[in-house]
Structure 1
Amino acid sequence: MNISGIVLAGGQSSRYGKPKMFEKYKGLSFYEHSIHAFKAGGIDDISISTNNQLAPYFNNEKADILVEDKKHQGPLYALFFALHHMAKKNEWVFLLPADTPFVSSSFIKTVISHAEKAEKPYDAFVPVTGSKLQPLHGMYHRRCLPIIEEMINNNKKSMYPLIQSVTVHSLFFSKDQKDFLNINRKEDWFI
């Protein structure tokens, strides 16, 4: 499979009070944990999707920087922008948020393994924890691009209409799995 790893790092971090993707955990910025998980999980083509305000602050030689042409448009737009830029070289885009410092390479390998073994073509592989969809940890095929573009043209920002409009393979994980724990507020460190 040809896969681009995309770290979603264009949010406002309004609940955290400052750009949380640059907070440190075990000596690495949050976003670097996502890059590391991709690399160790077998994905070498990695980009950070962000905005022009944050772009200068990323310092990582292991990932390219994709500067979205419109900032703070949400994850659906970030996926559209990434697919648009990656579609010529890779069929798939694997998303990870920049605020999940506990994400692991074994999670990446598990999702890729399911995608490689799928018996029919799916447009997306989306994790589910308990009963909660985790679309920001999903893999999306480039055939989703025209569907996403139409949704954006209709002012949609959520990932959920996309999930309802494409062929999705759900991957079930424990509701307590730390790979999905995102840090939205400073007090989240004490969970």
Structure 2
Amino acid sequence: MATITRATRIRNPALFICDIQEKFRPVIHEFSKLIPTTTKLLRATAPLNIPIYITTQNRSKLGPTIPELTPHLSASNLIADIDKTLFSMITPEIDALLPNTRTGEQALDVLIVGIETHICVTQTTLDLLERGHRVYVIVDGVSSVNEGERRVALERLRDAGAVVTSSESVLFEILGDAGHPGFRGVSGLVKEMKEETKGAMEVFSRI
């Protein structure tokens, strides 16, 4: 009997950025390490033509998306920038924009970064999996107030069918070939941010 596996290559990537907001800056574990990871992925969306979905949680109380990210959000591939009260990013507005896998539309390979891992990231991931999409939780791009909650959430999400992986890994998987037209831009970006990536991985890869 053939072995059933969830392993698959990233074919239809989308970047989801969950609630990286000003009011969370002083309280989230290693918040500063999330910024370069998210920036790197955002900058890679242009050469790789990856759509972007971003949310804020109750923006009037918790503040806007941090200013370090906003210069990279004006690209034509920004699909949604939604304020919400739901914990999940899959609001009715975003749900309406997603491919409908039940009618045969191609599933997304969602790369998700943001906060908090055990609340909004978890609920978003579960909602996406339920809709037939694949989810890649970027280990160097998610955090919580409590480091322990983050670790427990990542274990749960793996069990649920998400892939926990790194930002550098997914970028080179999307490229797939040094002959890809985006290779020079993405590989240069990875080299430019290698120290920031190293710092984030040293903090966040222990799960």
TM-score band by shorter chain is 0.3 to 0.5
Q: TM-score, normalised by structure 1?
A: 0.40
Q: TM-score, normalised by structure 2?
A: 0.38
**Whose helix fraction is larger, Structure 1's or Structure 2's?**
2
Which of the pair has more CA radius of gyration?
A: 2
